[in-house]
Amino acid sequence: MQAPLTPLEFGRRARRLYARYEAVVDGATRLTYDEFFDRCDRWSTVLRELGVSPGDRVVCIAPNTRAHLESFYAIPQIGAVIVPVNYRLCSDDFRYIIEHSGATVVCADGEYLNAIDEVRGDLAGVAHFVAFDGAKPGWLFYEEALGTASPARDFPAIREDDLLSINYTSGTTARPKGVMLTHRNVYLNILGRLAHTHMTSAERYLWTLPMFHVNGWGFVWAVTAVGGTHVCLRKPDPHAVFNSLNRDSITMFCAAPTVLISLAHAPEELRRAAPRGVRVLTAGAPPAAATIQRVEDELGWSITHVYGLTEVSPVVTICEPRSEHRKLDAPDAAKLKARQGVECIAAGEVRVVDDAGEEVPHDGQTLGEIVMRGHAVMDGYYNDPDATAHAFRGGWFHSGDAAVVHPDGYIEIRDRWKDVIISGGENISSVEVEGVLIRHPAVQEAAVVGVSHETWGETPHAFVVLRAGEIGEADALRLFCRDHLAHFKVPREFHFVSELPKTATGKVQKYVLRGGRANVR
């Protein structure tokens, strides 16, 4: 008899094999897997008593805490749908997502109770509000409810095409879209991740990546699958990260390139004391080769670059290391690691195609769009058939990422299609220019956008965050770029800013830069 493909199966296995292993570290709280799943089952009972039935949506707004982690088991195992929400949004965004998803229960960390209360009068469809921590009138206190509940035992049958989660996109230029991921989507995506990352029960995984970001890239279940330890971290502050790396014997974490940059530029005393040999998965934006090289050389960590989107569960390619890569010197190895790589096992098919839908030559030059189909691809956008139809035109999911394919089959993103700069009929990759700028010793971060020009159509303009103590000199950066780029790719202007505008997942909001709303020094 066949069993459905669901990440809940990883939990079932962990209950049997790792009951006495340490499952969760959250501040002073430490839980074995037996204790962790007891809490999950009590949370399932509470949800049922609140009237949550299979198919109902439950919103969670919280940082990386044990309550948030428990929700990724307690909600799906009763057949309901978890909706993890970016906690950095504003009250109006919370209102929109809660209403659009049709949630009947809203759970929030203590930091966000007031933000929800501001729009509570508009949330007629929500029957109950649960405070993960903190006590406030009108909110059910999570720990108190778990303390009086009996652990649920009789769970409904789950079909692998049942909806597991609705994950909302960042919505940088429009309202966020709800990505529907099924149990099968997530299970197979995690299975592929485990095949590539070789995690074991000795893994001690630090939660620097937000759990709300596509279910923590699936690691809310992947760590459990191998009996590893989840080490919760509310925010990826460099001091907190480095302290936890040492105190909690961390072996692995995930981070967007912007987090890697912050760690690479942390105070020297923190970097000097950091343990070596930590494995890091990075994704969310194309990382600069210079960032990869610096982290690996100075901190002694091993970086693996993966690529995907919320709509594909989320990881579909990995810059898979091969034996011939060991012969490369450090700069060339870092350049290769900055590529998006090849299809992950069990993710499905990934291609780079031209406007006619034909696969581009594997010459490392011809630009096309990354498209996908197969196991990892979402079930569609929730309550948005038009956006779903547009995304799946031609039978493939269209990523919006412009890329080339090298002769070895490795994909390399050159830009988002909307961010490719066309100057005098020439395509300029903002990612390429940014990669050169970040190699300059005075530069910490850089973002390049196209600005309208009456003669050339567009010209590249650079926004630069300097390292501490450095002075911005546009002429020096211009000369540096001329030494490493074709002259038409050199930014016309350099704007020195205190920080780059970013989404909660570390992606630079280039529409803000194009609109001239950056905080220019």
pLDDT tens, residue by residue, 141-154: 999 999 999 999 89
Residue 225 one-letter amino acid: A
CB neighbours of residue 493 within 10 Å: 12
C-alpha to C-alpha distance for 86 and 164, rounded to whole angstroms: 18
The strands making up 411-416's β-sheet, listed across from edge to edge, are 349-353, 368-373, 397-405, 411-416
Answer yes or no: is pLDDT of 160 > 70.
yes
pLDDT at 518: 53
C-alpha to C-alpha distance for 519 and 501, rounded to whole angstroms: 9
pLDDT at 1: 78
pLDDT tens, residue by residue, 234-290: 999 999 999 999 999 999 999 988 899 999 999 999 999 999 999 999 998 888 999
CATH 3.40.50.12780: does it fit domain 236-416?
Answer: yes
Answer yes or no: is pLDDT of 73 > 70.
yes
Answer yes or no: is pLDDT of 481 > 70.
yes
C-alpha to C-alpha distance for 349 and 328, rounded to whole angstroms: 29
Q: What is the 3-state secondary structure (H, E, C) of 430-497?
A: HHHHHHHHCCCCCEEEEEEEEEEECCCEEEEEEEEEECCCCCCCHHHHHHHHHHHCCHHHCCCEEEEE
In CATH terms, the superfamily for domain 34-181 is: ANL, N-terminal domain (3.40.50.12780)
CATH code of the domain made up of 420-514: 3.30.300.30
pLDDT tens, residue by residue, 390-421: 999 999 999 999 999 999 999 999 988 888 89
Every domain of the chain and the residues it spans: 34-181, 236-416, 420-514
Alpha helices in 338-410 (DSSP H): 385-391
pLDDT tens, residue by residue, 39-72: 999 999 999 999 999 999 999 999 999 999 999 9
Token couple for 291: 């960032």
Answer yes or no: is pLDDT of 517 > 70.
no
pLDDT at 171: 60
- Contact between 9 and 214 under an 8 Å Cβ cutoff? The reply is no
pLDDT at 386: 96
Give the CA diameter of the chain. 72
Q: What's the mean per-residue pLDDT of the chain? A: 94
Residue 479 one-letter amino acid: L
Token couple for 443: 């530069």
pLDDT at 8: 98
Answer yes or no: is pLDDT of 218 > 80.
yes
What average pLDDT does this structure show over 24-47? 98
pLDDT at 174: 67
> DSSP characters for 502-515?
B-TTS-B-HHHHHT
In this prediction, residue 222 has a pLDDT band, given cuts at 50, 70 and 90, of very high
Domains 34-181 and 236-416 agree in fold: yes
- Contact between 79 and 154 under an 8 Å Cβ cutoff? The reply is no
C-alpha to C-alpha distance for 261 and 508, rounded to whole angstroms: 13
Alpha helices in 218-358 (DSSP H): 219-225, 238-247, 257-264, 268-272, 289-294, 330-337
Answer yes or no: is pLDDT of 506 > 90.
no
CA of 19: how far to CAs of 26, 35, 162, 250, in Å?
A: 18, 8, 28, 21
Phi, psi angles (nearest 5°) of residue 372: -140, 155
